[in-house]
Structure 1
Amino acid sequence: MAVSYLYYVLLLALNVPLLLAKEVVYDFNVTWVTANPDGLADRKVVGINGQWPLPVIEVDKGDQLVVKMYNGLGDKSTSIHFHGMYQNGTNEMDGASMATQCPVPPGSSITYNFTVNQNGTYWYHCHTDYCYPDGYRQALIVHDNNSYFADQYEEEFTVTLSDWYHDLAEDIKPEFMSLYNPSGAEPIPNSWLFNDTINTSLSVKPNTTYLLRLANIAAFTAQYFYIEDHTLTIVEIDGVYTEPTPADILYVAVAQRYSVLFTTKSTADKNYPIVTVVDSTLLDTITPDLQLNSTNWLEYDASAPHLQANITVSESDSLVPFDDGTLVPHDHEPLLETPDLSINVAVIMDNLDNGKGYAFLNNISYTTPKVPTLYTVMSAGALATDATVYGDFTHTKVLGHNDVVEIILNNQDSGSHPFHLHGHVFQVVDRYPPMGADFYEYADATDAIAFDPSNHTAFPAYPPRRDTIVVPPMGYVVLRFRADNPGVWLFHCHIDWHLMQGLAMTFVEAPLLMQDRLTIPQDHFAACEAAGVADKGNAAANTEDYLDLRGQNVQPGWIPDGFTTRGIVSMVFTVLSAFLGMGAIVLYGLSDLKFAGRGDTAQVAVEPAAARDETRGEYQD
C-alpha cells in the first residue's frame, strides 16, 4: 500500500508542470492608428486592436501561446516573428515571410500556435517587407518561477529601447534604395524612445532588489545603457541565464536583450537618471537638432527633482561597455566539439549595376524566392537535401541533423552588424576586436582583420550563448551551434535597412525530418492563396523540375570590371541625360512641324520638362 501511494505521489509530482501549463490566447486585429510618441509629429503606425503601443505578450514557461492575427491594414501584407522563440517542432510558426510562410494579405487571418519551452526576455515583430519600423514590435516575456535568481528580487520592469522615424518605411525605402544614395547611407532616425515614449520614470522603493528586462526593438541603432550610481548584475542574455556578473554600462544592439538585477539605495531623497546614449558611429550624419542622449528616471520620490543626466554627445565616445563575450552561461554548457560543417562568409557592402547599394554575404545579396523556402522543403521530396532547389539567391546551406555547425563571419565593412539566427542560440566562440574600448579600432582600416583558424586566442571553455551578436567593424566573430532543430532558419543582420539590402542567408536543417515531422496548417495555405503566392515548387515556383531555376528572382547584375561605383552612377546619368536630350530634340523638331506658322511654340518647352521628370521618377522606382 505504501509503495502504491509513493508511486501515485511521484506521478503527481512529475505531472505538476503539465497541470500548471495553460493556453494563453491573444486576438490581434492589426490596423493603422495614429501616434506621436516623441511629441514632435503625428504619424500612422501599426496598431493592434486600435491601440499603440502594442500589448506586451506574457506567458509562463511551458504555456501554449496562441496568437490569432487578422490583417486589417487594408494596404499591406504582414506577419509576426516571435524573436528568439526556438519553434522546436513548429518551424511553420516562425513568421518570416517567404522563408517559413506566405505574407498575410489585407483581409486575411493566420493563427500562430506553439508551446513555449524556454524562458527569458524576447520580443515580437513584423517580418514582412520591412514593416516593423512602422511600430509593429513589442516585448514578449516568458516568466520562470524556477530561475536561479527568482527569489532574489521583489518586482520586475520591462524596458524597450527603439529608434523612431516620422516617415513610413514605404516612403523611406525609395530614398534609401536609390540611385541617389549609392553609398547606402542608412536613414537617420528622428528620435529615440524608452518604452515607446520619452521622459518617463520607473517608480521604486528603497532597499529593494528589482529585475529589469531590457530589449532593443529598434530598426537601426544600438544604445549604451546605464543607471547613475547603480550597479547592474547581468543574469540573462537573449533568453540564456548567465552567472551573475556586475556591469556598469551595457551596449544593447538591435534585437539584443538583457535581464539585470539592481538594488535601490537605502534612502529616497533623490531620483536617479536612467541614461541611454545612441551609438553615434552608426550614423552617417548628425544634424544639430538630433538628441542622441536621453534621460529617464529611477524614481524614488515623485516630488523630488527629475534632473537630466550630466552627459554630452561628445562624451559618449568615452563610454566603455561591458564585454558580453566574457559572460559564462549558468548551465556551464561546454564548448561544442570540432565542427562537422564550417561556413565562412564575409559581410560586403557594394553597388550593383543599377547604381544602388546592396549588402552581401560573400557575393550573394539575399533575394526572396517565389515559394517560401519551407514550402519548397515540404514539396520537394528527396530533392529537399539539394540546395539547388532553394535558388541561387537565398544563399541556402543544407545542414545535417545534429551536426555541429561553425559560422565564421568576417566583416569587410566599416560598420558593425548585429547578426541574428532564427531557431537557435549560438555559442560566441571568438570575436575580434572584443566589445569595449577598442571595438571600433579598425573601423577606418583599409584591410579587414579576418579570422585565422591556425592563429587565434584560446576559445572559452564555456562560451556565452545568445541569438544576436554584434560583429565589429572590419573584424570577425566565430559562432557554433548544434543543428538539433529541423527547420528553415534565417541568419541575417537585424538592422532592418541592411536586411532590405540583402544581408541574409538561409539554413535548411534536416529537410527530410522536416517532411516527416511538420504539418502546415490550412489557414497558412489559405494566406498563400489569398496573397497569390505559390505554396509548392522550387524557388522559381517550378513544380515539374525542381532543378530548373529559370524564372527565379535574381539580384541585379554586377558592375562591369573597370568601373567604379562613382563611374557607374556617372555613366547611368550620362546615358539618361543623352536620351533625354535626344528626346527633347525630336520633340522640338516635331513641334516645329506641328506648330509651324502659328507662333505658338512656347508650349513645346513644357513637354520635355514633363518627360524628364517622369523618366527620373520611373528610374528611382
Structure 2
Amino acid sequence: MSPAIAVLLLLAAFVQSSLAKTVTYNFNLTWVTANPDGLAERQVIGINNQWPLPVIEVDKGDQLVVNMHNGLGDKNASIHFHGMYQNGTNEMDGPSMVTQCPVPPGYDFTYNFTVNQNGTYWYHCHVDYCYPDGYRQALIIHDSDAYFADMYDEDITITVSDWYHEVTDEIGPSFQSIYNPTGAEPLPQSFLFNDTLNSSIPVKPNTTYMLRLINIGAFVGQYFYIDDHELTIVEIDGVYTEPQKADVLYISVAQRYTVLVTTKNSTSQNYCIVTVADSVLLDVIPSNLQLNNTNWLQYNATAAHEQPVIPVSDPTQFDPFDDMTLVPYDHQPLLDTPDHSITVNVNFQILQNGLDYAFLGNITYTKPQVPTLYTVYSAGDLSTNEEIYGEFTHPVVLQHNEVVEIVLNNQDTGTHPFHLHGHNFQMVDRFPSYGPHFYDYKNITPISYDPSNHTAFPASPPRRDTFVVAPGGYWVARFRADNPGVWFFHCHIDWHLSQGLGMLMIEAPDILQTQRDTVPQQHFDTCKAAGIAYEGNAAGNTVNLLDLKGEKKQSTWLPSGFTARGIVALVFSCISAILGMTMIAVYGFLEPVAKQHTVGQVAELTEVMADPKAVDSLQGEGASGAGPSTQVVERYELSE
C-alpha cells in the first residue's frame, strides 16, 4: 500500500469517527395488552408500556447503548441484536447461557457496542419462549455511502410475522409434551404486517422507495410481492448485492431483503401488497386461519382498495427469487479450501422421556450450567479443549482465521432457516434451490451432500446470516473464523431451537480470553442475581475443568428396534394407560353416592334383600366387582 493511500484511509477513518455519535435507548420491559389482528386481546411484552416496540435506528459508526430494565415481574429477558457481528464485544450478543446469564425480573442490563455495519437488521429476546410474545422489532443502520443511496427518495420499513393468541409460557409446555409425540409446531392464529392488518402505505407517483423487508416471526416463512410492481434487490441480511429484479420473494423467519420499488405515474388506483404464509410448514391448516393478507401501496386514499385473487392452498404456485443467484456488491471471492469442515444432519427423534427433540448429528443442544463465554474466561490453557464445554452444547473449537465449511444435510421434511451469530456466511451450494420444486423432496429419501459430486461453486457466493435448507436437501456454507467469540449456530424457528436444534462455534478462545477484563461487572452481578454460576466448565466445576459430573444432559435414547410408527404407538399407549389409571384412581377416591331414605323404605329394602333374584337385579346399579348385598347397602342410608 502506498503512503498516500494509507494517509487517505486514516483520514477517512478519522472523519468517520468524528461524525459518529452515541445513540441511547432506555427500555423498561413491561406487560401490556394488545390485539393486533382484531381477533383476541392478549398480554404482550412492551417497552416503556407501549407496543409495537420502537424501531432502533442508528448511523453506521455510531455507538449504540441500550439500557434494559426487566420490569416483567415473572420472566427472564435479554436482547440479541440479530446480525450484529459484535467484533470485540461478544458479551453483548445476548443469547442466554451462551454469552450471558438471563436477566431476572427487577434487574438492569446495559448493551453497549459500536455499529460498524450497514443495512437491515432486527432485535429480539433470546431466552426460552420469549420473542413470540411480541419482544421483537426492526434495527436499521443508515449508510449514506451505500451505492444505491442516490437511487431512492424515501426509506420504509416493513415487518411480517406470525402471531399467537396465547403467551408462550402456556404454549410451550403443551408443545414439548408426551401429548404431542410428532412434535407438531404450535399453529399461529394469524399473520401480521407491521404488527397489524389491512394497512395502507401512502406513496407518491413516479417516486422510488426503498423497502426494508424483515420477517420477525417465530415459525412461518412468507411469500411477498406487490401487484404490477417490480422489486429490485439491493441488500440481503446487511450485505449489499448487485441489483437484481424480482417479482416474488420468499422471506424465512429472521431473513431480510432491501428492495427498491418505483411507483407509477398515475394515481387512479391502489395496488395490493400481498403476503402469503408458507403453508407447507403447517401440519394442519384450520379453516379459520387466513394464510394470505393484503395491504396496499396507496396512491389515492379515495380509490378502491381491491382484494387480489390468490390460490393459497399450494405454495408451489409461487416461483420465488432464488437468493443463490445473488452476487455481493463487493464481489468477495469464494473462500479457499476449508481448514475445518463440519458436517451435521438435521433430524427429529423421540427420546426415552417421550418428548420429541431436534438434533444436529446425534446431539440436541442442552444448556450448560455456566454460560459458555464465561467458561472460556475461566478455562486458562484448557480453553481450546472442547471437552470442558460439555458434550451436549455440541461445541466446536475453531482456530483464528480458519476457513470453516459447514455441510448441513436435512433429513427432515420441513424447511429450516439456519442462523450464525457473529458472522454472515457464503452460501456455496444448496440442493434443491428455490423454485416450484423446492418442496418436491419432502416425500422422498433425503439427499446428502457429496463433496466429490456437486455443481461448480460460484466465484463470488451470496452472503447472508440466515439461509434456508430445503426438505430432504442440503446446503454448504463457508465463513472465515476472524471474530473471536462464542457464536450460536441454530435454526431460527423458535420452536425448533427450544427442541435443541443448535450448536456452538467457539472461535479462537485463547484470543477471546484477553477480552475478559473489558466485560462490565454488571454481567457477573446479573448471574449472581439469577443464581447462576459464572466460572467453571459446563458442569460448573471450577477445580477440575475436565470433570463434567453434573453437566446437563439430553434424555437417553429409546431402546434400539423402535420404528417411528412404533414410537408414536408406544407414546399414545402410554398416554392412554396414564389416563386410564388416573380415572380409576380418581373414581376410587370419590365418596360413595348416598341416598336419603325413610325408615319405611329401609324396611322395604330388607324384604328385597331377602329375595336373591331381586338382589341380583339390583347388582347392575353399582360398581362392578362388589357383591349384590354390599352394592345395595352402600347405596342406601337411614335418615331421620
Say whether residues 1:225 and 2:229 are aligned partners. Answer: no
**1:522 alignment partner in structure 2:** 521
Counterpart-to-counterpart distance in 2, 1:74 and 1:221? 30
Counterpart-to-counterpart distance in 1, 2:481 and 2:235? 23
Per-residue CA deviations over 1:482-506 (Å, capped at 9, x if unaligned) read: 0000000000000000001000000
Relative distance call for 1:149 and 1:588 in structure 2 (3 A) is closer
Q: How does 1:526-537 map to 2 (within 5 A)?
A: 526-537=525-536
* TM-aligned CA deviation for residue 392 of structure 1: 1.2
Q: How does 1:578-589 map to 2 (within 5 A)?
A: none
CA RMSD of aligned residues (A): 2.4
Counterpart-to-counterpart distance in 2, 1:63 and 1:584? 64
* TM-aligned CA deviation for residue 231 of structure 1: 0.4
Counterpart-to-counterpart distance in 1, 2:421 and 2:455? 28
**Contact 1:559 1:568 survives alignment (8 Å):** no
* TM-aligned CA deviation for residue 561 of structure 1: 1.2
Per-residue CA deviations over 1:494-547 (Å, capped at 9, x if unaligned) read: 000000100000000000100013432111111111100111111111111111
* TM-aligned CA deviation for residue 441 of structure 1: 1.4
Counterpart-to-counterpart distance in 2, 1:176 and 1:222? 20
Q: What SS does the aligned partner of 2:391 have?
A: coil
Q: Which residue type is aligned with residue 128 of structure 2?
A: D
Say whether residues 1:152 and 2:151 are aligned partners. Answer: yes
**1:134 alignment partner in structure 2:** 133
* TM-aligned CA deviation for residue 13 of structure 1: 5.4
User: What TM-score, normalized by structure 2, do the two folds share?
Assistant: 0.89
Counterpart-to-counterpart distance in 2, 1:8 and 1:281? 56
Select between 563-572 and 347-356 the one with higher mean Cα deviation. Answer: 563-572
Q: Which residue type is aligned with residue 567 of structure 2?
A: T
Counterpart-to-counterpart distance in 1, 2:573 and 2:542? 41
Say whether residues 1:568 and 2:576 are aligned partners. Answer: no
- Larger Cα-atom Rg: 2
**2:603 alignment partner in structure 1:** none
Counterpart-to-counterpart distance in 1, 2:315 and 2:538? 46
**2:508 alignment partner in structure 1:** 510
Alignment partner of 1:458 out of 452, 456, 471: 456
Counterpart-to-counterpart distance in 1, 2:192 and 2:288? 16
Relative distance call for 1:549 and 1:261 in structure 2 (3 A) is same
**Contact 1:398 1:510 survives alignment (8 Å):** yes
**1:59 alignment partner in structure 2:** 58
**Contact 2:240 2:329 survives alignment (8 Å):** yes
Select between 199-208 and 237-246 the one with higher mean Cα deviation. Answer: 199-208
**Contact 1:293 1:312 survives alignment (8 Å):** no
**1:614 alignment partner in structure 2:** none
Per-residue CA deviations over 1:346-401 (Å, capped at 9, x if unaligned) read: 00111111211110001101011110000000011111111111111100000000
Select between 381-390 and 310-319 the one with higher mean Cα deviation. Answer: 310-319
Relative distance call for 1:588 and 1:186 in structure 2 (3 A) is closer
Counterpart-to-counterpart distance in 2, 1:573 and 1:511? 46
Relative distance call for 1:562 and 1:157 in structure 2 (3 A) is same
Per-residue CA deviations over 1:96-116 (Å, capped at 9, x if unaligned) read: 000000000000000000000
**Contact 2:348 2:359 survives alignment (8 Å):** yes
Relative distance call for 1:38 and 1:582 in structure 2 (3 A) is closer
Counterpart-to-counterpart distance in 1, 2:339 and 2:150? 41
Q: What SS does the aligned partner of 2:441 have?
A: coil
Relative distance call for 1:248 and 1:377 in structure 2 (3 A) is same
**Contact 1:79 1:104 survives alignment (8 Å):** yes
* TM-aligned CA deviation for residue 10 of structure 1: 9.3
Relative distance call for 1:598 and 1:213 in structure 2 (3 A) is same
Q: Which residue type is aligned with residue 500 of structure 1?
A: S
**1:470 alignment partner in structure 2:** 468
**2:604 alignment partner in structure 1:** none
Per-residue CA deviations over 1:45-65 (Å, capped at 9, x if unaligned) read: 000001000000000000000
**2:350 alignment partner in structure 1:** 351
**2:290 alignment partner in structure 1:** 291
Select between 32-41 and 436-445 the one with higher mean Cα deviation. Answer: 436-445
**2:120 alignment partner in structure 1:** 121
Counterpart-to-counterpart distance in 1, 2:582 and 2:38? 45
User: What 5-or-longer segments of structure 2 have no aligned partner?
Assistant: 1-5, 594-624
Q: Which residue type is aligned with residue 463 of structure 1?
A: P
Q: How does 1:212-361 map to 2 (within 5 A)?
A: 212-314=211-313, 316-361=315-360
Q: What SS does the aligned partner of 2:553 have?
A: coil
Counterpart-to-counterpart distance in 2, 1:12 and 1:240? 25
Q: What SS does the aligned partner of 1:545 have?
A: coil
Relative distance call for 1:600 and 1:418 in structure 2 (3 A) is farther
Counterpart-to-counterpart distance in 2, 1:326 and 1:210? 23
Say whether residues 1:398 and 2:400 are aligned partners. Answer: no
Query: What percent identity do the matched residue pairs reach?
Result: 63
Counterpart-to-counterpart distance in 1, 2:331 and 2:14? 27
Counterpart-to-counterpart distance in 2, 1:147 and 1:308? 36
What count of residue pairs does the alignment treat as equivalent? 594
Per-residue CA deviations over 1:540-585 (Å, capped at 9, x if unaligned) read: 1111111111111111111111233124314534664686589689
Counterpart-to-counterpart distance in 2, 1:354 and 1:10? 60
Counterpart-to-counterpart distance in 2, 1:115 and 1:426? 21
Counterpart-to-counterpart distance in 2, 1:35 and 1:597? 60
* TM-aligned CA deviation for residue 188 of structure 1: 0.7
Q: What SS does the aligned partner of 2:443 have?
A: coil
**2:550 alignment partner in structure 1:** 551
* TM-aligned CA deviation for residue 11 of structure 1: 7.2
Relative distance call for 1:261 and 1:535 in structure 2 (3 A) is same
Per-residue CA deviations over 1:249-306 (Å, capped at 9, x if unaligned) read: 0000000000000110011111000000001000011111111000000011111111
Relative distance call for 1:527 and 1:231 in structure 2 (3 A) is same
Counterpart-to-counterpart distance in 2, 1:597 and 1:280? 60
Counterpart-to-counterpart distance in 2, 1:434 and 1:66? 40
**1:487 alignment partner in structure 2:** 485
